[in-house]
A and B are shown apart, each in its own frame.
Chain A
Amino acid sequence: ILNVEQSPQSLHVQEGDSTNFTCSFPSSNFYALHWYRWETAKSPEALFVMTLNGDEKKKGRISATLNTKEGYSYLYIKGSQPEDSATYLCALNDYKLSFGAGTTVTVRA
């Protein structure tokens, strides 16, 4: 089992503010790191798949970075909007998928 930790567990952000949160892992022995967005009563949806140290991915106002040497990935949300409210999951893929418990983001209007 790959131990994936996400912090904080939850956060509240004012609409228009930017925020970021962390996925950390003890080993770089995996094929890819995934980020998923999971809205209440829906299924998780993939945001990014990152494979290389130094990878940076961007989709609209959301971006992510990967540092395999120091064992972390950051997810950034720029100019948060109410529709960004969701739980964001990080997972390591070494054929088996190991998920963190997620960071729940609530954007207040």
Chain B
Amino acid sequence: EAQVTQNPRYLITVTGKKLTVTCSQNMNHEYMSWYRQDPGLGLRQIYYSMNVEVTDKGDVPEGYKVSRKEKRNFPLILESPSPNQTSLYFCASSLNPAGAEGEQFFGPGTRLTVL
């Protein structure tokens, strides 16, 4: 089954404790991206990657890191989480970065709470 998977789905942690949220897609997609969703703000892009070893900042990259060492995986790293990073996080992928094949396939989401 073609899908984007994220782990963990739910996480409660404390300020300053490094964490990684994994994202994997099995569709051989070039483009992968991370979003956070906060009430009233919609989805905001954190980082995106157009291919292996190519990553770029989205609109809200502060406090996050990513890597794209393999085509299928795009982990999101919070080196020192803070309470303002409490949010619902989505990973997504698409065949190509833009144009008609740019539709995003979203993972199930990760709900993160930072105390």
User: Most A CB atoms within 10 A — which of B48, B104, B105, B106?
Assistant: B104
Q: Which of B104, B108, B109 contacts A46 (CB 8 A)?
A: B104
B49-103, CB < 8 A from A? 50, 56, 58-59, 90, 97-103
Q: Is A28 an interface residue (CB 8 A)?
A: no
Q: Which of A32, A49, A51, A98 contacts B59 (CB 8 A)?
A: A98
Main DSSP-derived SS at the A contact region:
strand
Q: Which of B58, B97, B104 contacts A34 (CB 8 A)?
A: B104
Given A32-B102, A44-B90, A96-B48, A89–B42 Cβ distance below 8 Å?
yes
Q: Is B12 an interface residue (CB 8 A)?
A: no
CB distance from B5 to the nearest CB of A (A): 11
Query: Which among A14-22, A61-69, A76-84, A99-107 touches the partner chain?
Result: A99-107
Contacts of B109 in A (CB 8 A): 43
Main DSSP-derived SS at the B contact region:
mixed
A36 to B50, CA, bound (A): 21
Q: How many B residues face the partner with a CB closer than 8 A?
A: 27
A100 to B106, CA, bound (A): 17
What are 26 A-B residue pairs whose CB atoms fall within 8 Å in the complex?
Answer: A1-B59, A31-B98, A31-B102, A36-B104, A43-B107, A43-B108, A43-B109, A44-B106, A46-B103, A46-B104, A49-B103, A51-B100, A91-B43, A93-B97, A93-B102, A94-B98, A95-B56, A96-B48, A97-B33, A97-B48, A98-B45, A98-B59, A99-B35, A99-B45, A100-B42, A101-B41
Smallest CB-CB A-B distances: 7 pairs: A31-B98, A46-B103, A43-B106, A101-B42, A99-B43, A99-B42, A49-B103
A residues whose Cβ falls under 8 Å from a Cβ of B = 1, 31-32, 34, 36, 43-46, 49, 51, 89, 91, 93-102
B residues whose Cβ falls under 8 Å from a Cβ of A = 33, 35, 40-45, 48, 50, 56, 58-59, 90, 97-109
